[in-house]
């Protein structure tokens, strides 16, 4: 993100070889990060000789903290790391940005170079040891679980044994997780090489390096022991000699047995053994990896906002269980969440299929199961969120659906009938199933009739429950009828204001009478476009149909006694905390 440096540390050649600090345009950096993430990158490193001094050349308001926030907002599951930073430029804003982030890792390389103030002055480092320790204290107060590493030069000009002991003392006080220790050697052209005498013998430099390494070794081993028995999220970097090598969020190296296909992926690893310099473990198979949070409720109850807030708190990803939001182009009428409303949380199964594409609950279940298991493999918590009960229970109860290919001839006949006529046909074929199916969903009615006729069995009875694959907590949003009605009316009017008429007109023109458009928010516009009703009647019908749909949803959900009904976000947080324990 930048080249060069303006600090002129006396031992460093960079300002002479690479020139003054020069920053890239923030838009260019963000675009590069977006492209990398789209191609599958899971880790974004921001690099610069003095990375935290970054200021965008095209917009001075975009400093390093702001740049981090912008990259954080990119959709996707990835980590952000950066190096190298200078303690003098480490602002409160940057600390807060790191503390509040879900993607910036809990690892920081904070070069100190020496633990002695006299040597720091000779090095032209613009801080004292007291200032450095205060900065470390601030960082650890706001990010308690952060892992700190540092850079150290031993044997710098005029570093006496007593001055070196101040560096040993600093190691013991700060307790670094890792340190990159180098023996000083003069670089031609630097101030130190020109002015100071390289007066510490080679053997003494080696001795000092060894002392620091041994000091660090004891500290690091003690720190690493805390991970034994814990399951950590690990990004696999490479496969070597039959082992996988990866890094944790805190940049600990992890070694484990596993398929080389996992390279480039996040996995859960249970730590079984540690050394000073790394961890060893095995792919996690704990019950925790099978946990699934389900959030249900009627339309307009606030499921999306609650799910986003909870996913942020518990490091989760959202899998949509909405039979309408799965379609592309159907945005306003399905109240599809905007990028801002998604809050930087990864959402799955939104904008997946075209409105004229064949799709059913069996396909949904297959896709959702795969995605949920992938989320769990990344050691993150999946949230299955939506109001389509059939989608929810297909996943939760691992329901097996009959594999019946579409009958085009039968469908052509059924598509000519009204929803009321279709419901009566289905009711005669499957009385039990008729109690639960969405009466206004023409596409679903046709599919249910198709399955009944082809198999000569009630559709409802053919859905076999297999052993559940997940340990599930189901949370339902409870609202009084008056509040829900008010929310529905407000939402519908907002959708119309946002351009629902234009969207519906475009979709009808492009896809005509496809079953996907026979749904609330779109079907009501058909008579309007044919001049049979006015816009006020369209709005009234959408509100009325949405209220009826919300009532059917609640009838469906109330039958499931596993649902914990809540009225506040705190209720949900408490349930999840207890569930994860």
In sequence order, what DSSP letters do the residues of 442-509 get, joined into one string?
HHHHHHHHHHHHHHTS-TGGG-EE----SEEEEEEE---HHHHHHHHHHHHHHHHHHTHHHHHHHHHH
Residue 461 has pLDDT above 80, yes or no: no
Among 91-100, 437-446, 460-469, the least confident range:
460-469
Among 89-103, 222-236, 427-441, the least confident range:
427-441
Name the band, by pLDDT with cuts 50, 70 and 90, for residue 287: very low
Share of the chain above pLDDT 90, in %: 75
- Position 520 scores a pLDDT of 93
- Position 231 scores a pLDDT of 85
CB 508 within 8 A of CB 517: yes
pLDDT in tens, 129-173: 999 999 999 999 999 889 999 999 999 999 999 999 999 999 999
Pairing assessment for the beta strands 471-477 and 291-296 based on DSSP bridges: parallel
CB 448 within 8 A of CB 437: yes
Q: Report the DSSP beta bridge partners of residue 22.
A: 3
- Give mean pLDDT, residues 7-36: 96
- Give mean pLDDT, residues 469-475: 92
- Position 460 scores a pLDDT of 66
- Give mean pLDDT, residues 351-374: 89
- Position 289 scores a pLDDT of 62
Higher per-residue confidence, 436 vs 375: 375
Residue 42 has pLDDT above 60, yes or no: yes
Share of the chain above pLDDT 70, in %: 98
List the one residue out of 91, 86, 154, 171 whose CA is nearest residue 126.
86
Q: Which residues contact 184 (CB under 8 A, 6 or more apart)?
A: 11, 153, 154, 155, 156, 157, 159, 198, 200, 205
Residue 286 has pLDDT above 60, yes or no: no
Q: Which residues contact 158 (CB under 8 A, 6 or more apart)?
A: 118, 119, 122, 196, 199
- Give mean pLDDT, residues 369-392: 89
Higher per-residue confidence, 121 vs 403: 121
- Position 359 scores a pLDDT of 87
Residue 357 has pLDDT above 80, yes or no: yes
Q: What is the DSSP code (8-state) at residue 233? A: E
Tokens coding 156: 């710098």
Residue 448 has pLDDT above 90, yes or no: no
pLDDT in tens, 565-577: 999 999 999 999 9
How many CB atoms neighbour CB 130 within 10 A? 9
Sorted by where each starts, the structural domains of the chain and their CATH numbers stand as 2-225 (3.80.30.20), 228-285 (2.40.50.140), 289-401+465-574 (3.40.50.300), 402-462 (1.10.20)
Prior bond to 84 cis, omega within 30?
A: yes
- Position 375 scores a pLDDT of 86
Name the band, by pLDDT with cuts 50, 70 and 90, for residue 462: low
Name the band, by pLDDT with cuts 50, 70 and 90, for residue 101: confident
Residue 288 has pLDDT above 50, yes or no: no
- Give mean pLDDT, residues 190-211: 97
- Position 377 scores a pLDDT of 73
Average pLDDT, the chain: 92
Burial pattern 41-52, b for ≥16 Cβ within 10 A else e, equals: ebbbebebbbbb
pLDDT in tens, 481-531: 999 999 999 999 999 999 999 999 999 999 987 878 888 999 999 999 999
């Amino acid at each position: 993100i930048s080249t060069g440096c303006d600090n002129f540390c006396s031992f460093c050649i960079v300002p002479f070889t690479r020139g003054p600090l020069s920053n890239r345009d923030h838009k260019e950096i963000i675009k590069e990060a977006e492209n990398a993430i789209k191609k599958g990158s899971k880790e974004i490193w921001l690099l610069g000789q003095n990375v935290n001094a970054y200021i965008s050349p095209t917009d001075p308001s975009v400093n390093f903290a702001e740049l981090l926030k912008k990259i954080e907002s990119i959709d996707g599951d990835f980590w952000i790391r950066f190096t190298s930073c200078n303690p003098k430029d480490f602002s409160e804003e940057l600390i807060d940005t790191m503390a509040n982030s879900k993607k910036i890792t809990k690892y920081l390389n904070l070069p100190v170079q020496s633990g002695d103030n006299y040597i720091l002055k000779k090095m032209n480092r613009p801080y004292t040891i007291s200032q450095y320790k205060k900065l470390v204290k601030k960082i650890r107060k706001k990010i308690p679980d952060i892992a700190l590493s540092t850079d150290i030069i031993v044997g710098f000009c005029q570093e006496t044994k007593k001055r070196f002991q101040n560096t040993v003392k600093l190691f013991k006080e700060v307790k670094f997780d890792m340190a990159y220790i180098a023996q000083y050697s003069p670089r031609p052209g630097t101030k130190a090489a020109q002015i100071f005498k390289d007066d510490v013998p080679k053997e003494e430099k080696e001795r000092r390096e060894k002392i620091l390494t041994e000091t660090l070794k004891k500290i690091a081993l003690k720190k690493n022991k805390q991970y034994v028995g814990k399951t950590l999220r690990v990004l696999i970097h490479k496969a070597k000699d039959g082992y996988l090598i990866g890094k944790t969020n805190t940049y600990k190296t992890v070694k484990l047995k596993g398929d080389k296909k996992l390279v480039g992926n996040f996995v859960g690893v249970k730590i079984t053994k540690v050394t000073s310099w790394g961890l060893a473990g095995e792919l996690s198979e704990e019950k925790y990896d099978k946990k699934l949070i389900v959030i249900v409720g009627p339309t307009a109850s606030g499921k999306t906002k609650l799910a986003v807030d909870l996913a942020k708190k518990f490091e989760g990803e959202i899998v949509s269980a909405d039979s309408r939001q799965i379609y592309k182009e159907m945005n306003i009428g399905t109240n599809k969440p905007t990028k801002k409303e998604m809050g930087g949380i990864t959402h799955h199964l939104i904008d997946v299929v075209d409105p004229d594409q064949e799709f059913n609950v069996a396909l949904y279940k297959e896709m959702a199961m795969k995605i949920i298991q992938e989320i769990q493999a990344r050691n993150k918590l999946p949230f299955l969120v939506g109001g389509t009960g059939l989608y929810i229970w297909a996943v939760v109860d691992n329901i097996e659906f009959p594999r019946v290919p579409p009958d085009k001839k039968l469908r052509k006949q059924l598509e000519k009938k009204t929803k009321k006529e279709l419901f009566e046909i289905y009711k005669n074929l499957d009385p039990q199933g008729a109690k639960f199916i969405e009466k206004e969903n023409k596409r679903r009615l046709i599919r249910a009739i198709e399955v009944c006729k082809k198999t000569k069995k009630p559709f409802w009875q053919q859905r076999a429950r297999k052993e559940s694959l997940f340990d599930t907590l189901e949370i339902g949003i409870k609202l009084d009828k008056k509040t829900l009605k008010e929310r529905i009316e407000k939402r519908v009017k907002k959708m119309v204001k946002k351009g629902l008429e234009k969207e519906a007109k475009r979709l009808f023109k492009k896809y005509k009478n496809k079953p996907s458009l026979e749904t609330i928010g779109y079907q009501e516009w058909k008579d309007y476009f044919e001049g049979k009703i006015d816009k006020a009647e369209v709005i009234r019908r959408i509100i009325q149909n949405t209220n009826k749909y919300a009532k059917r949803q609640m009838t469906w959900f109330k039958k499931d006694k596993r649902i914990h009904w809540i009225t506040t976000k705190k209720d949900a947080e408490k349930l999840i905390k207890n569930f994860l324990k």
